[in-house]
Structure 1
Amino acid sequence: MGRNKGEHLDETGWRILVELQKNSRISFKEIGSKVGLSCSSVIERVRRMEESGLIRSYTTIVDGEMAGFFIRAIIELKSYSPKDEEQLRQKLLDNLYVQQFWNITGDNDFIMEAVFSSTKDLLAFLVSLGEHGQTFSSVVLDMPHRKHLQAPQS
């Protein structure tokens, strides 16, 4: 069960993951009652998922607007120089606005999701990225639903 990369979870493993993604504070006993396992079996399965790296962490999702970040932007960057990519990666990792970023294929090299408290902060960030490449940005108007990873359909 999920010990090696590429190894598939069974249906019960997926059901455990779905419950943990919905609420990472759910008790093992409650998961067990939902998936039809004893508490100790759930604990063992979750422990194996953690040890294998399948479960990387437990986290809290913060409402950005309530925390003062009213602008969410998707920003793509076409790099001026491949030699600059490690410096750019570190800049993105260190930046408090950047929530996540990816190195991508296609016309551009990076895509990132970032949050800002004002358009002034967004503009300053875009200007700072200008030394690394050309940016293309979109402001998110609405994010009606964030999906969790689901079991593949057989």
Structure 2
Amino acid sequence: MLDENDRRILRALADDARLSLKELAMRAGLSSPSTSERLKRLEERGILRTFSLDIDPQALGYTLQAMVRIRPLPGKLHAVQRLIEEIPQVVECDKVTGEDCFFARMHLRSIDQLDEILDRIADKAETHTAIVKSQPVRRRMLPLD
């Protein structure tokens, strides 16, 4: 699926997604045109989806992080999903199997803000909330081998 040149490109981008094409090519040991073509193919194949921005939520005043399991009431699945999609403090949400339907990660400024959000959901779903103490493993790149 990936050859070693592709792996070098992806590893370099994982370290610094802001690299210039020239620098990326140098780190991958390829020419700039070859690197550009490989980037294009990685995007076309859906392997490289986006170059993202990593912002520290705490630096913006979001000092609280919560994981919320959400179980919609009967007949409310789609309404709950739309509601979750509209809440800007929900930075990630997975639709899962099991008793709960959604597992959402929220960044919040306060417990009061968490209460306000959960109150918006309360008439459509049951929720179970865990406050995040720390994150020993941050989102990271998958093994490329």
Taking structure 2 as the reference length, the TM-score comes to: 0.89
Match of 1:124 among 116, 121, 124: 116
Distance in 2 separating the partners of 1:121 and 1:64: 15
Partner residue, 1:10: 3
SS at match of 2:24: helix
Question: Does structure 1 residue 103 correspond to structure 2 residue 95?
Answer: yes
CA contact (8 A) 2:73 2:125 kept: yes
Partner residue, 2:47: 54
Q: 1:150 to 1:35 in 2, by over 3 A?
A: farther
Distance in 2 separating the partners of 1:40 and 1:13: 14
What pairs up with 1:1-154 in 2 under 5 angstroms?
A: 8-81=1-74, 83-153=75-145
Deviation at residue 68 of structure 1 after TM alignment:
0.9
SS at match of 1:66: helix
Deviation at residue 107 of structure 1 after TM alignment:
2.1
Distance in 1 separating the partners of 2:121 and 2:47: 33
Structure 1 unmatched runs, 5+: 1-7
SS at match of 2:58: coil
Distance in 1 separating the partners of 2:10 and 2:76: 38
Distance in 2 separating the partners of 1:151 and 1:11: 13
Structure 2 unmatched runs, 5+: none
CA contact (8 A) 2:7 2:144 kept: no
1:107-127 deviation per Cα after TM superposition (whole angstroms, max 9, x unaligned): 211101011101000111112
Distance in 2 separating the partners of 1:11 and 1:87: 46
Deviation at residue 145 of structure 1 after TM alignment:
4.1
Q: 1:57 to 1:40 in 2, by over 3 A?
A: same
Taking structure 1 as the reference length, the TM-score comes to: 0.85
List 4+ stretches of structure 1 deviating above 3 A: none
Query: How large is the Cα RMSD of the aligned pairs?
Result: 1.7
SS at match of 1:65: helix
State the AA in 2 paired with 1:138: A
Number of equivalenced pairs: 145
